[in-house]
Structure 1
Amino acid sequence: MVARARLPRNLFVTAGSGTAAATILACVGSMAGDLFRTLGTVSLLAGLGAAAGVLVRYGVLRGRAVRTADELRQRHERAEAEWAARKATFERQETDRVDALPEWGTVSPGPDARRVDVVGGNLWGWEALLTVCGTSLLATRGPMVMVDLSGEAVSRELLRVAAANGLTVDLLLLPDELADSDLLVGLTPRQLVDSLVESIHSGQPSTELAGRLMDDRILTAVCAALGEHISMARLAAALRVLMNEPGDTPELTPEERRHVADRLFGDDYRRHAHQHLSRLESFVEPLAPLGTRRDARPAAALTCLALATGGRTVRAELLDDLVVQWLIRRIAHGPTRPGSLVVAGADDLPARHVERLGDLCERRGVRLVLLHRHLRGPVVQAIGAGTVGFMRLGNHEEARHAADFVGREHRFVLSQLTRTLGGNETHTVADTEGASETEGHGTGWGTSDGTGRGGGRGSTPTTWSRNRGWNLSESANWSVTRNWSRTRSLADGTNWSDAESRQRVYEYAVEPRTFQELPDYALILVRRDDDGATVVPTECNPDLVTLPRVGMGPLPSPPEVTGPAVGGPTAAAPLPAASPLPLTAAPPARPPRQRPPS
C-alpha cells in the first residue's frame, strides 16, 4: 500500500528531474555547443532509466507482498483448520464427560435434621413425595412407621413399591379395622386413662384443668373396677351403668355391673358429674371395637396406619388424637423404635402433642416427617424446628407466610448497563505544486536645454550662455520560481468501554408468587445452618428413577470455571449451585487473524 502510494511521486521526481535537466542543457547547448546537447541527452536517459528502476522495484515489492499475503492466508487457514479440529475434539470430550455425569441426584435435608416439615401441595404431589422420600428412608434408616391421615390413601404407591421389593408391610385401615388394631395393647389402666383424657381435651386450652381432673377421676375409678381386661366396649358399658341408662350390658359380668352401679360413686356425685359421664360415654362409644385385640401386631419393615377413604367422621377425628398418643408411647417406651416416622395430614393434630412427638424423635434419633396441607394457624408456629419443604401454596396469604419464613436478603441488582464502541480513521493526502515567471523591460531618455544672460549696472559689457543635454537608460529583469510539496497523514484510533451500575435492594429471597406457581411434583427445600437459610429446588417425580442419568447420591458442587470472558479480560465465572452440568475447562481460543504487510 505504501509503495503504491509513493509510486506517482517517485516517477514524477525521477522522470521529471531528468527531463528538466535535459531541457535546460539542450537550451544551453543550442547556444554553447554540442557538449551541452550531449549532456542533456544523457540527463534525459538517466531520468528515464531511474523511472524504469522505480517501476521495476515497485513490481518486485508488489510480487513480494502478494507472496507474503498468500503465505499468511495459508498459515491462517491451517491455524483455522487446527482450531476447528481442537474445537471438535473439545466438544466431543465435553459431551462424553457430561453424558457420564448424573443429571439427577438425591437431596439431603441436612446432617443434623431430625425433623422435616412439608407444607402445601395436593394429594398427587403428596403421593409422589411419599413414594420418593419413603423408599429413601426405608433404604437408609430401616423400619418406618407411616400414619396416613389424608383420607385418600396417599401412601398406597409407597406400600406397593415396598411390597414389590420384598419388604414386609403391615397396613391397618381405620376405623374399619378397629377391632384388629393394637392401639391399646400393652397399656396399663393408668396409661389408658391418660391417653383418653389427652384425646378428649386435645382441642381445649390448658386452663380447663377442673374438667380434665373430673374426667381423669371418673375414668380411673371405672378402669380400676373393670380390672386388667379393658376395652372401649366394656368402658362404654360401665359409663352407661353409672348414668342409669336402660339396656343390657353383655360386656360386663353381673358382679362388675353391681360394683359399678352400687359401690363406685354415690348418688350425689353421679348427679353432679352427669355431664362429664355423658361426654365420656359419647367419646368412647364410637370406638367400641377398639381394644378387642389382645396381642400386638407382627413387626414389619413398613407399618402403616391409614384412615379409610371417605368423608371426615367423628370416629376419624377421635382416632387422630389416639394415634398420636400411640405414637408417643411407641417412641418413648416401645421395645423397638422405628428409624423414621412419617405423618401425612398433620394439620389437625394438637400443637403440644406434635411438639412432644418431635422432642421424643429428636432425643431418640428418629427422623420425623410431617406433611401439612396448609400454612396457617398452629402450623405457622410449629414449623422451623428443622428442615422445611414448601410445595404449591395456592392461597396468597400462605405464599406470603412461606416467603417470610425463607426471609429477605440484601442483593445487588443490575440497574444500568452502558456499552460504547467507537472508532475513527483519518487519511489525508495533499499535493501542492506551483510555478511563477516574471519578465520586465524598461527604457528611458531625456533632453535638457537652457539659456542665460547677465550684466552689471553702469557698464556696457553683456554675457550670454546656453547648454543642452541628453540621456538614455534601459533595464531588463527576468525571474522563474517553482515549488512542489506533498503531505500525507494517517491516523487510526479505536475506543471501547463497558460500564455497569448495581443497586442494593432488600427483597424476598423467594418471591411469594413462586410458591403459587410450583408444579405438582416440585418442592422448595429450606435448610437452616450457621450461614443462614439455604434454598434447594427439588423434584419428587417418581418417574425420574427411570431416566438413564440418575445418581443415588447428592450431586457434586460445580467448580468455578476460569476462562476468557466475552468482550473483556480473563475473569472467573462461577456456575449456579443448582446446575447439574459443571464445566471443567474453557474451549480453545480462536487464533487471531494476521494482517498482511503493506
Structure 2
Amino acid sequence: MSTPSRAPRARASRTYVGWRPAVLIPHPGEAPRRPAPEDAGPPEGGRAGTEGNNEAHTDRPLHIALAGLGLLMLLCPLLWGLRILPGILALAGVFACATLAVPVAVALLQGRHVASERVRQARERLAVERDERERLLHERQRAHAEAYTAWQSASRAYEAQPHWYGVTVPEGVDSVIVAGGTDAGWSALLTTIGLSRLREGGDLTVVDLTGHGVSRELGRLARRCAVAPRHWVLPADLPSVTLGTDLDAGQRARILSAVAAAGSREEGVDADETLLLRLLEVLGPHAGVREIIGGLRALLTRADDDAEDDPALSLLSRDERDHVRARCGDDQDVWARAWELERRLAPFEAVGTRADDTAYAQVKIISVDRASGEEAARSYGTYAVAALSELLGDRPAGTAAPAPARRRTVVVCGAERLPAGEYEQVLSVAEGSGVEVVLLFRSPSEPVLARFEDPRCLPVVMRTEDDADLLARAVAEHPGGDPGRLAVHRLTETVGRQAEPETETETDEERLFPSPHTESGAVVRNAAAAVAPLDLLRRVSSATEWGRATARVRGVDAPPDGGSGDRSPVRTGGTDAAALRALPETLALVLDPSGPVLADTNPGILTLSTATLATVDDSWKSGQGTDAGHGTPGATAPPGPRTGGRGARTAPVTGPDDTGGRHGREREWYPAPVGADTGRFPERVPPNLGPPPERLDWRA
C-alpha cells in the first residue's frame, strides 16, 4: 500500500454542483495476530535423558549379569572358608567369574561412553534448533511489526479519509442544463453554486422566475460572508433596475422587441425591432422606455393633438412627435404594431427611472413576485435574460476580462417560462466567453433535452413527477458508467425529508433597513473578495437552513463499509423513470462525460468533517501514480485552495472617462478587475500594511 502524500490544492475556478459519497480506501480488516513462540519441547537434557534411559534399559541384563558374577566371586571364597568347596575349585570359580566379568564391564563402559557422546550431540542439536527457532520467531515478529505498522497506517487512512467528494462542472463546459427539481432542490443547488463563486470571489447573477424565492438561502449566505447581495423583486423594483438601460440603440431595440414577442407573438419580432430602432433614432439612443411609449402613442394620435392629458406624450415635444410620424410611417400596419408594442411595454415604463449610480455588486439577484402571474414572469424574465445576453456578448471598451482564477456565472431558475430563442441566445453567448450559464427547467421540452448531446453542456436531472419517462429516455441515451457512482447516502435521504428552507422573499425589514454589518460585526461589502474555505463552511453552517439540517443528522454520516457489520448507509440508485420520481429532493443525477453520477446538492455537506473539495478523479489519479497527485485514493488531505487575500478590494468597472455615459450605470453587471481601486480606499497602501495572511485551512 502506498504512503499518502500531500494533496494539491483544488483549482479555484471550479463550480461545484454537489458532493458524492465514496470510500476509496477499503477497510483494512482485522489487525494481524502477533506470532506466539512455538512449544520449546523438552528441556535441554530431556532428549539426552531419554536416550540415557533407553541405554540403561538396554544395558540392564549386563548389569544383572555383572552383579551376579560379582556375587559368585564373593561366594566362592566364602564357600572355601566354610570348607564347602575345595580351594582349587573356589580359586577356579573366582578366576572364571573374573574372566567373564571383565568383558561385561568393558562393554558397559563402552556403552556409557557412547551414550554420553549421544547426549552431547543431542544437546548440540537442541541448541542449534533453539537458535533457529529464536531466529524464525524474531523474523516473524519483525514481519508482524511491519504488517501491524502498515495496518495502523491503513486503518488511520481509512478512518480519516473523506466520505464526500466534490462533483464539479468539467473543464470545457460552458453551460449546465438542469431538468426537473423542486423548490428545495433548486435552493440547495443555487446555494452550492453560490458558495463556489464566493469561495473564489467570482461574480454571480441569478434570475429567479419561479416566484417562490429559491435564492433566499443564497442571499443569507452571501450576507453572512460580508458580501451585500443586490436584490431586485419585479415589478416593484423596476424603477431601480439598471440592467439594460444604457445599452446601444440596437441592443435596446432587440431587448424590447423580445419582451413584446414573449407576450404574444414571435413572427413580427423583426418588424418590432425595426420600429423601435427608428423611434430611438428620433428620440436618441438613451431614451427611456417612457419616451419610447410616448413615441408609440404619437403614431396613434392626430398631429393636432396637444397631448396635455397624456403624461407619456407630454415627454415629447411637438417637433419630436412630428418627426416620429414622419420617420416611422402612418400606415395601418404600423398603427397596429405600435398599439401592440405599447401594450406589451407598458409594464416596463418605469424601468431605471429611479436607479442610482451604484457600484459593482458581486452577487445580483433578480426575482419575480409570485403575485405577478406566469405571463408577467415570462415578460420580466425575457427582459432580464435578453439584457444579460447583450451585456455578456458586448463587453465595453476598457473592461478587462475576468482573471483566470475567477469565473462569472449566470443562473436562470424557471427557464421554461422564457421563449426558446432567449435561452438559446444566452447559451450561444456563453460559448467561449468565460461565462458559465446554468438554466433550471421545471418541465423541460424536447429542444432542451436535445441539448443533452452538446459536449459543451453538462446535463443534470433532479426529482421529477410528470416528465420522469421523458427524462429517463434522455438519460438512457447517455453513455453508461460504473454503477458504484449511483450511490444514495442515508444522510441525503434524511436531510431531504427534514430540511425545509424558506423560499419566501426577503422581509420588509431586511429590504428597507439593511444593516451595514453582519452578526459577527464584519462590514458588508459589494466588492468581490475570496472567502476562505474555513470561514465559508462556518457561514454555511450558521446562516443556511441546509447547514443546520445537516448538523441535526450528522450522526448518520458513516463510511459505507465500516467493517463493523452494520447495515451500509449507502444504497445503489437507478436511472429509470421510477428512480427519478423517488430521488430525494437534494439529489441530482449528473450526466458527466465519464458516466452518470448521483450528487447531493446540499451545501451543508461542506460542513461535515468527512467532506472534501477534491473530486474522486483527483484522488484516483494521484493514488494510482498516473499524475502528480495528493496521495493514495481518498488521501486525507483534501485540497482547500488558498485564494487571494481576504482583504482584497476591487472596484466597479467604468468607461474610459467615468462620466456616467454609456455603461455608466451598467458597470455593476461586469466583474471588478483584480487590483482595481473602488474609490473608497487609498490608491496606494502604505508600506508594511495590508490584509493579514490567510489562516491555514484545517481541511488540507
- Scaled by the length of structure 2, what TM-score is found? 0.50
Pairs within 5 Å for 1:235-246: 235=293, 238-239=296-297, 242=300
Is residue 204–residue 363 contact of structure 2 (8 Å, CA) maintained in 1? Answer: yes
Shift of 1:224: 3.9
Aligned runs of 1:405-420 on 2, under 5 Å? 405-406=478-479
Query: Match for residue 229 of structure 1?
Result: 287
Cα–Cα, structure 1 residues 313 and 204, in superposed 2: closer, same or farther, change >3 Å?
Answer: closer
Cα distance, 1:406–1:248 mapped onto 2, change above 3 Å: farther
- The residue type equivalent to 2:470 in the other structure is E
Contact 1:118 1:371 in 2 (8 A): yes
Deviation at 1:556, TM superposition (A): 1.1
CA distance, structure 2, for counterparts of residue 118 and residue 216 of structure 1: 31
* Distance in 2, Cα, partners of 1:203 & 1:76: 89
Partner of 1:388: 458
* Structure with higher RCO (Cα < 8 A, 6+ apart): 2
Match of 1:546 among 584, 593, 607: 607
Q: 1:248/1:402 Cα in 2 relative to 1: closer, same or farther (>3 Å)?
A: farther
**Paired amino acid for 1:242:** L
C-alpha separation between the residues in 2 aligned to 1:204 and 1:237? 21
Give the letter for the 2:276 counterpart: L
- Report whether the alignment pairs 1:400 with 2:473: yes
> Which residue is equivalent to 1:130?
190
Q: Distance in 2 between matches of 1:121 and 1:230?
A: 38
Equivalent-residue separation in structure 2 for 1:332 and 1:560 (angstroms): 42
> Quick one: which amino acid aligns to residue 518 of structure 1?
L
Distance 2:274 2:588 in 1: 48
1:362 aligns with 2:431: yes
**1:526 and 2:591 equivalent?**
yes
1:280-300 deviation line (CA, Å, top 9, x unaligned): 122011222224246654211
Q: Which amino acid aligns with 1:122?
A: T
- Residue 286 of structure 1 is matched in structure 2 by 347
Q: Give ranges in structure 2 of 5+ residues lacking alignment.
A: 1-128, 484-571, 625-631, 638-700
Aligned ranges 1:337-356 → 2 under 5 Å: 339-345=407-413, 346-356=415-425
Count of paired positions = 449
Question: Against the structure 1 CA distance between its residues 113 and 279, is the aligned structure 2 distance closer, same or farther, given a 3 Å change threshold?
Answer: same
Letter in 2 for 1:380: L
User: What SS does the corresponding residue of 1:173 show, helix, strand or coil?
Assistant: strand
Match of 2:393 among 315, 329, 332: 332
3-state SS in 1 of match to 2:378: helix
What is the CA–CA distance in structure 2 between the aligned matches of 1:145 and 1:260, rounded to whole Å? 40
Select 1:305's aligned residue among 357, 361, 366.
Answer: 366
Matched, 1:557 2:627: no
Q: How does 1:176-255 map to 2 (within 5 A)?
A: 176-201=236-261, 208=267, 211-227=268-284, 228-232=286-290, 235=293, 238-239=296-297, 242=300, 248-253=309-314, 255=317
Q: Does structure 2 conserve the Cα–Cα contact (< 8 Å) formed by 1:182 and 1:294?
A: yes
CA distance in 1, matches of 2:596, 2:270: 47
- C-alpha displacement of 1:79: 9.3
Offset from partner CA, 1:537-571 (integer Å, 9 cap, x none): 4332222222223333335117789xxxxxxxxxx
Change (3 A) 1:293 1:372: same
- Partner Cα separation in structure 2 for residue 321 and residue 377 of structure 1: 20
Return the offset for 1:177.
0.5
In the alignment, the residues of structure 2 paired with residue 86 and residue 357 of structure 1 have an alpha-carbon distance, to the nearest angstrom, of 60
* Partner of residue 115, structure 1: 175
Q: Does 1:512 align with 2:575?
A: yes
Counterpart secondary structure, 2:167: coil
In the TM superposition, what are the counterparts of 1:577-596 in structure 2 within 5 Å? none
SS at match of 1:557: helix
Matches within 5 A, 1:67-216: 89-140=149-200, 142-201=202-261, 208=267, 211-216=268-273
Aligned to 1:502: none
Q: 1:105 to 1:535 in 2, by over 3 A?
A: same
Distance 2:224 2:623 in 1: 43
The answer to which of 365-374 and 308-317 deviates more is 308-317
Distance 1:323 1:131 in 2: 21
Asked whether the 8 Å contact 2:223–2:229 carries over to 1, the reply is: yes
CA apart distance, 1:73: 12
Q: CA deviation at 1:179?
A: 0.9
Percent of aligned pairs sharing the same letter: 24
Give the drift of 1:326.
Answer: 0.7
Match of 1:6 in 2: none
What is the rounded CA distance, in whole Å, between the counterparts of 1:81 and 1:545 in structure 2? 43
CA RMSD of aligned residues (A): 5.6
How far does residue 80 in structure 1 lie from its aligned partner after superposition? 9.0
Contact kept, 8 Å, 1:347 with 1:379, in 2: the verdict is no
CA distance in 2, matches of 1:203, 1:234: 18
Q: Deviations over 1:204-227 (max 9, x none)?
A: 897x3xx33443343334444444
Q: What is the DSSP-based 3-state SS (H/G/I as helix, E as strand, rest coil) of the residue aligned with 2:417? A: coil
More strand by share: 1
* Aligned amino acid, residue 527 of structure 1: D
Distance 1:236 1:558 in 2: 64
Distance (whole Å) between structure 1 residues aligned to residue 200 and residue 329 of structure 2: 58
Matched residues in 1 for 2:592 and 2:619: separation? 17
Residue 8 of structure 1 is matched in structure 2 by none
Cα–Cα, structure 1 residues 249 and 143, in superposed 2: closer, same or farther, change >3 Å? same
User: What is the match of residue 12 of structure 1?
Assistant: none
Letter in 2 for 1:344: V
SS at match of 1:518: coil
State the 1:327 CA deviation: 0.6
Cα offsets for 1:378-410 (capped at 9, x unmatched): 211233342424243432222221222345899
Deviations 1:144-194 (A, max 9, x none): 222222222222222222222222422112222011111342134433222
- Quote the Cα distance in structure 1 between the aligned partners of 2:167 and 2:235: 36
CA distance in 1, matches of 2:586, 2:139: 51
Q: Give unmatched runs, 5+ long, in structure 1.
A: 1-68, 411-508, 562-576, 583-598
State the one-letter code of the partner of 1:220: L
Q: Which letter does structure 1 place at the counterpart of 2:448?
A: V
Counterpart contact for 1:402–1:512, Cα < 8 Å: yes
CA distance in 1, matches of 2:170, 2:409: 17
Query: Given residue 401 of structure 1, which amino acid in structure 2 is its aligned partner?
Result: A
State how far apart, in whole Å, the 1-side matches of 2:234 and 2:300 are. Answer: 29
Alpha-carbon distance change, 242 to 404 in structure 1, aligned in 2, over 3 angstroms: same
CA distance in 1, matches of 2:135, 2:159: 36
